[in-house]
A and B are shown apart, each in its own frame.
Chain A
Amino acid sequence: MSEAETDTSATEVDARRREQALQRRRLDISCRGPVTFFFASAVTWLLVGTLLGLLASIKLHTPGFLSSWEWLTFGRVRPAHLNLVIYGWSSMAAIATLLWLQARLARTPLPWPGALIAVGVVWNLAIAGGLIVLLGGHFSSVEWLEFPTATAAVLGVGFLVVMASSITMFARRTTRHIYVSQWYVFGALWWFPILYLLGNLTIHGGGATGVVQATGNWWFAHNVLGIWFTPVGLAAAYYFIPKVIGRPVHSYHLSLLGFWTLAFFYNWAGTHHLIGGPVPVWLTTVGTVASVLMVIPVVTIAINHHMTMVGHFHKLRFSPTLRFIVFGAMTYTAISLQGSLMALRTINENTHFTHYTVAHAHLGMYGFFAMTMFGAAYYIMPRLTGREWSSAPLIAVHFWCTGLGMGLYFVGLTIGGHNQGQMLNDAGVPFLDIVAYTIPFLWSRSFAGSLMAIGHIAFAILFIRMLRDARRSS
């Protein structure tokens, strides 16, 4: 930093560097237990969630597959897949990443490691219990709020504890500056626990039924993306890209403009899911306007990440973290601009209720968010355990299977979904013809999902080996 003036003697500089290296070490040690636990849990749920997703995918083109047991019918497997990847994999990876980021950026140790691990343990039990209830067929059918009330209550309290620990670190920060990633982490942890509690209270509390329930559902579900996963993913991208390539972010000014415009616009966008529904027109118009306004933060973020990377793209060959995070950041631009377009009535009337939307959702939650979390884990875990990743080829398998798998998933369902929408809007086409038409595209989705599953298994092997090596050496 600039405080290291030229008149400082060389030994003082050395001492200062040594002190900073020690500080990094101390911060990482303070994070070791909770962050490792949350990442390990996330990887476990990723594997289970992937299996359930594959099952759901296969059942759409081969309905007889495992259908004799009601626990594994499509109507149960799909919500189980959805909730495991959202609250098991994505949220736990998000918490691991944001706790570590906040400790590093506030330069203060992670407080209450025991309590955070306890939250992680109870969280896992709640999700495992929720999974059994979902597969048993008892759930609300309100997307992303299917979990039983007990699971929701545990997750709600867990979010509050994570929020409190992050705010404590922020309050104890030993740096003068607030980095842009901290704004994003702060935003995510301030908005999401409130949203989760309000969402559960209004939907499960009986205050909302019928059309109103659908309204509340989509207001909630879109905000999960917009003010929970998006800020955490962007916080990681804003930290890891400059850190790994060794160059500050291209324009700090733009990065702040992106954050504050996102903070003002995103939470209004959810009602675009109700276009064409029996709701007041102003309600969907608000969502459409906010979705189009989101072009401002998205373009500033895209320009900024691209300009930071210019001249450093060759480093993608050497750094696993950079590969995954740059993949995620580029996907973020694509997915967000696509989302703004899909919120327009003329486009929405074709894409709504088709596989096109499914491709869009996976590009966001997987191509952007999951890939960014993989990148974060590749950077954070070696620093917590003091071990290198055990195999470069396995990392390559992970990257190429997930990257190509996601690409294939998106292309197949986007083309199939687009044509499906055109046929659905044509009253002359019999419905069963449309169903038959989509089958080859659904096969391509199952193939893509299998590729992604192979990537996840490679990642899980790497992760388990790292934990084993760390245990052996300690």
Chain B
Amino acid sequence: MTVIYLAMIGSWLIFSSSVLLAFIWAVRRGHFDDFDGAAASIFDDDEPYPSALDRFPRAVPGPQDLEEEP
């Protein structure tokens, strides 16, 4: 009986305390200092593209949506 409660409460504590530690780490490392930079970090210099990056195949004429093979 007690084993499962120990496992459950233990895991609750492990999960919650690890979240707390990660949060403190992120604050100290300054990961919450630059929201605009973080939000834009998924784009490269040539992005965001003016048109959608993903289209139905051959639905719209024009350049390929796939990134160019260099």
Interface residues of A (CB under 8 A from B): 1-2, 4, 13, 16-18, 20-22, 24-25, 104-105, 175-181, 186-187, 190-191, 194-195, 198, 201-202, 207-208, 212-213, 215-216, 219, 227, 239, 242-249, 252-253, 255-256, 260, 263-264, 267-268, 315, 318-322, 378-379, 382-383, 386, 388-392, 395-396
Give CA–CA (A22, B68) in the complex, Å.
Answer: 9
Counting from the closest, the 8 A-B pairs by CB-CB distance are A246-B48, A207-B3, A177-B41, A252-B35, A248-B39, A252-B39, A392-B56, A20-B44
Would you list which residues of chain B between 14 and 70 have a CB under 8 Å from chain A?
14-16, 18-19, 22-23, 26, 31-32, 34-60, 64-70
Give CA–CA (A160, B70) in the complex, Å.
Answer: 35
Cβ–Cβ < 8 Å partners of B23 in chain A: 260
Known interface pairs A227-B15, A244-B54. Does A20 touch B38 (Cβ–Cβ under 8 Å)? no
Contact B8 A215, beta carbon cutoff 8 Å: yes
Cβ–Cβ < 8 Å partners of A20 in chain B: 44-46
Which single member of A13, A179, A187 contacts B38 (CB below 8 Å)? A179
Give CA–CA (A16, B44) in the complex, Å.
Answer: 10
CB distance from B27 to the nearest CB of A (A): 11
Cβ-closest chain A residue relative to B3: A207
Can you pick out 8 interface pairs between chain A and chain B where the beta carbons lie within 8 Å of each other?
A180-B38, A191-B15, A239-B42, A247-B48, A253-B35, A318-B56, A320-B56, A379-B53
Size of the B side of the interface (Cβ < 8 Å), in residues, is: 52
Give CA–CA (A246, B7) in the complex, Å.
Answer: 45
Cβ–Cβ < 8 Å partners of A194 in chain B: 11, 14-15
Contact B59 A318, beta carbon cutoff 8 Å: yes
Contact B44 A24, beta carbon cutoff 8 Å: yes
CB distance from A300 to the nearest CB of B (A): 14
Contact B37 A177, beta carbon cutoff 8 Å: yes
Cβ–Cβ < 8 Å partners of A243 in chain B: 42-43, 48, 53
Cβ–Cβ < 8 Å partners of B15 in chain A: 191, 194, 227, 263, 267
Cβ–Cβ < 8 Å partners of B58 in chain A: 388, 392
Give CA–CA (A318, B34) in the complex, Å.
Answer: 33
Contact B52 A246, beta carbon cutoff 8 Å: yes
Cβ-closest chain A residue relative to B41: A177
Contact A318 B37, beta carbon cutoff 8 Å: no
CB distance from B65 to the nearest CB of A (A): 8
Given contacts A215-B4, A319-B55, A379-B54, 8 further A-B contacts (CB under 8 A): A178-B38, A212-B5, A243-B48, A245-B52, A248-B40, A321-B54, A382-B65, A392-B56
CB distance from A152 to the nearest CB of B (A): 16
Give CA–CA (A160, B32) in the complex, Å.
Answer: 29
Which single member of B12, B52, B69 contacts A319 (CB below 8 Å)? B52
Contact B4 A207, beta carbon cutoff 8 Å: yes
Which single member of B16, B37, B53, B60 contacts A244 (CB below 8 Å)? B53
Cβ–Cβ < 8 Å partners of B53 in chain A: 243-244, 246, 319, 379
CB distance from B68 to the nearest CB of A (A): 6
CB distance from B57 to the nearest CB of A (A): 4
Contact A267 B11, beta carbon cutoff 8 Å: yes
Cβ–Cβ < 8 Å partners of A201 in chain B: 7
Give CA–CA (A259, B16) in the complex, Å.
Answer: 13
The CB with the most chain A CB atoms within 10 A, among B5, B53, B69, is that of B53
Contact B3 A322, beta carbon cutoff 8 Å: no
Give CA–CA (A244, B53) in the complex, Å.
Answer: 5
Known interface pairs A239-B42, A252-B39, A253-B35. Does A208 touch B4 (Cβ–Cβ under 8 Å)? yes
Cβ–Cβ < 8 Å partners of B60 in chain A: 318
Contact B45 A17, beta carbon cutoff 8 Å: yes
Known interface pairs A24-B67, A178-B31, A246-B48. Does A322 touch B57 (Cβ–Cβ under 8 Å)? no
CB distance from A445 to the nearest CB of B (A): 30
Cβ-closest chain B residue relative to A265: B16
CB distance from A122 to the nearest CB of B (A): 27
Which single member of A16, A319, A382 contacts B66 (CB below 8 Å)? A382
CB distance from A207 to the nearest CB of B (A): 4
Cβ–Cβ < 8 Å partners of B39 in chain A: 242, 248-249, 252, 255
Contact B3 A22, beta carbon cutoff 8 Å: no
Give CA–CA (A178, B23) in the complex, Å.
Answer: 13
Cβ-closest chain A residue relative to B16: A264
Known interface pairs A1-B45, A175-B41. Does A244 touch B52 (Cβ–Cβ under 8 Å)? yes
CB distance from B26 to the nearest CB of A (A): 7
Give CA–CA (A319, B23) in the complex, Å.
Answer: 36
Contact B35 A267, beta carbon cutoff 8 Å: no
Contact B57 A390, beta carbon cutoff 8 Å: yes
CB distance from A15 to the nearest CB of B (A): 10
Give CA–CA (A315, B54) in the complex, Å.
Answer: 10
Known interface pairs A177-B34, A246-B48, A247-B48. Does A267 touch B12 (Cβ–Cβ under 8 Å)? yes
Known interface pairs A179-B38, A264-B19, A267-B16. Does A378 touch B54 (Cβ–Cβ under 8 Å)? yes
Contact A179 B42, beta carbon cutoff 8 Å: yes
Which single member of B5, B12, B44, B46 contacts A268 (CB below 8 Å)? B12
